Amino acid sequence: MSLTIRIPAPLRERAGGARTLPIDATTLADLRRGLADRYPDLAAVVLDGEAFGPAVSVFVDGEDVRFMPEDADLRSARLVELLPAMSGG
């Protein structure tokens, strides 16, 4: 299933300047592998080894992937949103 990854401004340099990118994934594990394979520069900040890392929050159709199982069915999903972590005070 083809999903659209929405790229926020702070991460666009790692996505070749793109605002959105396509990715094929039917499970959360497929999404993670697809990011690593197709978009390694972006994956470098989104992933921490073989897991989604703490630097960027990842949401699939508004649901935080931290609370989804690896085999979560993404066939009906449409949108992956990346939100960089904020710091400061």
pLDDT in tens, 25-62: 999 999 999 999 999 999 999 999 989 999 999 999 99
- Specify the pTM: 0.91
Residue 30 corresponds to which tokens in the numbers above? 């497929």
Return the pLDDT at 88.
61
Residue 9 corresponds to which tokens in the numbers above? 């401004």
Residue 53's nearest CA partner among 79, 85, 23 is 85
- Structural domains for the chain: 2-84 (3.10.20.30)
d(CA 87, CA 84): 10
Residue 45's nearest CA partner among 37, 33, 57 is 57
Residue 14 identity (one-letter amino acid): R
* pLDDT over threshold 90, residue 17: yes
